[in-house]
Amino acid sequence: MSNFPFLSVLTVAPLVGALVVAFLPRRRPDLAKQVAFGWSLLVLALSVVMWVSFSADGDRLQFRESYPWIPTWDVNFTFAVDGIALVMLMLIAVLVPLVILASWHDADASKRSVPAYFALLLVLESTMIGVFAAADVFLFYVFFEVMLVPMYFLIGSYGGHQRQYAAVKFFLYSLVGGLFMLAAVIGLWVVGGKTFDWQALTQVDISTGTERWLFLGFFLAFAIKAPFFPFHTWLPDAGRAAPAGAAALLVGVLDKVGTFGILRYCLPLFPEASKWFAPWALALGLIGILYAALLAVGQSDLKRLVSYTSIAHFGFIGVGIFAFTTQAGTGAVLYMLNHGLATGLLFLVVGMLIARRGSSLISDFGGAGKLVPLLAGVLFFAGLASLALPGTAPFVSEFLVLIGTFTVNKPVAVIATLGIVLAAAYVLWMVQRTTQGTLNPELTEVKAMHRDLTLREKAVVAPLIALIVLLGFYPKPVTDVINPAVQATMQDVGKTDPAPEVGSVQEAAQ
C-alpha cells in the first residue's frame, strides 16, 4: 500500500471535488452540501488508510513522490511526509467534514452562492493538505500563498461584521510575511546549489550571517502565520469576522502552518541560527502565553476571545519548539493537533451559540444554560479542553511542553506554568458570563435560543469530544508517530535531552 501516491491524490482530490461542487446549479444548495460532505469523507477515508500504512519506525520522510515542474529552476512537485506532517494531515481530514457539517446553514443567509461556499472549503482543504505534504521548498511557498485565497473569500464574502476589513487585513498581513519568505526562499536557492529539494537543502552548509538572514525571512512569515506576539492582531479580527466553520479551520489548521514551518524549515535548514535566535523566540512565546491570556480575559466578543486564547496556546507551542528537548518538541507537535481539535470544537460551539443569538457579544448572553443545557455543556467541555484539564488531550501536550522545557530552562517553564492559571480564568469567566447566572430576559425572546443541539450539531461535536477524551487518556498512538520525527529534528539542531541531575534512577530501582 505504501507505493500508492497518497499525497498527490489527497492534494488533488478535494480540488476536483471543489470543481464538481462549484459547477452544481446554484438553486440546488442541498446537493452541493451533500456532495461536498461526501467528498470530504472520502478524503478522510483515504487519510486513514495512509495513517495505517505509515510506519512509525521507518524512514523520516515517507510516501515520497516527485514530478518535474519547472526544470530550469529545478522546481518539482515533490511530496513527502514525516510524522509531524502526517498528524497535521489527519487533523485536516478529520476537521473538514465536521466543519462542512457545522456550516450547513452558514451560507444560506448570504447573498452569495451556496455551492461556492462549500467549493471554497474544499479548495481550502486541498491547499492545506498541499502545504503540509510538500517536500519542495518552492512548492511549499506556492501552497503557503495560495492557501490565502480561499480563506480570503470565505471571510470576505461570507463573514460577519467588518468582514472586508478583516479579510484584507488577513490577506495583506500574511502576504507581507510571505514576501519575506519568498526572498529567503530565493536566497536559499542561490546558496543551496540551485535546488529547492528539502532533503538536498538540509545537507548544505551556509555561512553564519547568511543563515541568520534566511532564518529571519522564514521565521517572520511563520511568526505572522502562527501568529506569535507582536504579529497577532490580524487573528482576532479575522476570527471574529470569519464564519465559525472557517474560523475553526483558520485557527485549527491554517495557523499551524506557521509552527509546522518552523519545525520543518527553520530548524533543519538553519540549525545554528535557530539556536542563536532561540532565546528571542522563547521570549515571544512566553509573552504570547501571558499577554494573550490576559487579553482573552478582557474581551467582550466571544470569537475575539477564542482567537486570543489561541494566540496564548501558540505561545506554548513556540516555547515547546525552541526548548529543543524531545518532550517539549513532541509536546509542541501534539499541541498542534490537540489545539486543532479543542479550539476547533470551541469555535464551532461558539458559532452555534452565536447563530442562535444573532450576536457574538458576550453581554448579549447570560444564563443561557437554562435554555440550551446541552449546548452549554459542550461549550464548557470545549473550555475544559482549552484550559488543558487532565483527561482531555491538551493536558498531555501542555504537560509535555512544560516538563520538557523545565529540564533545560527553568525560568521559562515556571513563567509559562502561570499560563495555566490564566487559562482557567478566561475560560471560566467566559462560561460564567454566557451560560451561568441570571437568565438574560432578552435571550428568552429569541426563538432560536430555545432550541438545544440538533442531531446535525450533535454529529459535529460528538467525534471531536470523543477524540479529545480518547487522546487525553491514551495519547500513545499519536506520540509514537510524532516522536521519531521530533527526535530527527532535534538531531538536525544538534541537541540532546539533559540527563536527570541525580544519578540513574531506573537502574537503582531495578
Partner 1 sequence: MDEILTYAQAEPAGTVTYAAADGLLSSVWLLVAIPLASAAILLLLGRRADRWGHWLGVAAIGAAFVLGLTSFFQLRGLENKSVELSLWDFITVGDLRVDFGLLFDPLAAVFVLLITGVGFLIHLYAVEYMAHDEGRRRFFAYFNLFVAAMLLLVLGNNYVMLYFGWEGVGLASYLLISFWYGRPSAATAGKKAFLMNRVGDAGLAIGIFILFATLGTTQYDEVFSSVGGLASGTVLVLGLLLLLGAAGKSGQFPLQAWLPDAMEGPTPVSALIHAATMVTAGVYLIARSNPIFSANETLQLVVVSVGALTLLMGCVIGAAKDDIKRVLAWSTVSQIGYMFLGVGLGGAAYALAIVHLLAHGFFKANMFLGAGSVMHGMNDQVDIRRFGGLSKYMKITWITFMMGWLAIIGMFPFSGFFSKEPIIVAAFEREGWTAWLFGGAALLGAGLTAFYMTRLFVLTFHGPKRWTEDIEHPHESPKLMTIPLILLAIGSVGAGFLLATSVPDWLTATAGLGGEHAEHAAVLPHWLLTTLSLVVTVLGAGLAWALFRNGTATAPQPAGVLVTAARRNLYTDAFNEVVFEKPGIFLTRALVFLDNRGVDGLVNGLAAGVGGGSGRLRRWQTGFVRSYATSILTGALLVVAAFLAVQAGWLA
At 371, give phi and psi (nearest 5°). Answer: -90, -45
223: its cell numbers: 511568526
**Residue 365 zone, left/alpha/beta (φ > 0; ψ -120 to 50; rest):** beta
Dist CA 135 CA 140 (whole Å): 7
Nearer to partner 1, 19 or 172 (CB): 172
CB of 46 to partner 1, least distance (A): 29
Q: What SS3 state is found at 69? A: strand
CA atoms within 13 A on the CB side of 193: 10
- Told to check if 127 binds partner 1 by CB under 8 A, we report no
Decide whether 103 or 435 has the Cβ nearer to partner 1: 435
Candidates 436, 463, 472; CA nearest to 90 is 463
User: According to the binding rule CB under 8 A, does residue 294 interact with partner 1?
Assistant: yes
Omega before 477 within 30 of 0, i.e. cis: no
Instruction: Return the number of the residue (139 or 393) whose C-beta is nearest partner 1.
Output: 393
Choose, by CB under 8 A, the member of 284, 306, 413, 471 that binds partner 1.
413
Question: Looking at beta carbons only, is 12 or 428 nearer to partner 1?
Answer: 428
- Residue 160: CB minimum distance to partner 1, A: 19
Residue choice 117, 141, 158, 173 for contact with partner 1 (CB under 8 A): 173
Round to whole Å and give the CA distance between 292 and 290.
Answer: 6
Is 113 or 325 the residue whose CB approaches partner 1 more closely? 325
**Minimum Å distance from CB 326 to partner 1?**
3
Q: Quick one: which of 9, 42, 44, 297 contacts partner 1 (CB under 8 A)?
A: 297
Q: Enumerate helices (H) and strands (E) in the chain, giving the number of each.
A: 23, 2
Amino acid letter for position 362? I
Closest CA to 176 of 126, 224, 128, 140: 224
| C-beta closer to partner 1: residue 165 or 213 | 165
Q: How far is the CB of 455 from partner 1 (least distance, A)?
A: 14
Q: Which of 105, 361, 474, 491 is the binder for partner 1 (CB under 8 A)?
A: 474
Q: Which is nearer to partner 1, 42 or 403 (CB)?
A: 403
Residue 316 CA neighbour count, 13 Å, CB half: 36
Does 64 help bind partner 1 (rule: CB under 8 A)? no
Using alpha carbons, select from 383, 151, 382, 393 the residue that is nearest to residue 254: 151
Tell me if 370 contacts partner 1 by CB under 8 A. yes
In the region spanning residues 479 to 508, those forming contacts with partner 1, defined by CB under 8 A, are 479, 483, 487, 497-506, 508
Question: Does the footprint of partner 1 cover residue 424 (CB under 8 A)?
Answer: yes
* Contact characters 321-360, partner 1, x per CB under 8 A: ----xxx--xx-----------------------------
Total residues contacting partner 1 by CB under 8 A comes to 72
User: Minimum distance from CB of 472 to partner 1 (Å)?
Assistant: 9
Of the residues 34, 399, 446, 459, which one makes contact with partner 1 according to CB under 8 A: 399
Q: Is 291 in the site for partner 1 (CB under 8 A)?
A: yes
Q: What track of x and - describes contact with partner 1 for positions 376 through 395 (by CB under 8 A)?
A: -x------x----xxx---x
CB of 372 to partner 1, least distance (A): 13
What is the closest distance, in whole angstroms, from the C-beta atom of residue 83 to partner 1 in the complex? Answer: 13
Phi-psi map region of 98: left, alpha, beta (phi>0 left; psi -120 to 50 alpha): alpha
Kindly report the number of other CB atoms within 10 A of residue 489's CB atom. Answer: 24
| Nearest approach, Cβ of residue 88 and partner 1 (Å) | 18
Exposure of 67 by Cβ count < 10 A (0-12 exposed, 13-18 middle, 19+ buried)?
exposed
Angle at 181 between CA 177 and CA 186, to 5 degrees: 150
Residue 169 touching partner 1 (CB under 8 A): yes
Q: Three cell numbers at 452? A: 438545544
Q: Which of 288, 277, 282 is nearest to 231 (CA)?
A: 288
Q: Rule CB under 8 A: choose which of 164, 432, 444, 454 binds partner 1.
A: 432
Q: How far apart are CB 382 and partner 1 at their closest, in Å?
A: 14
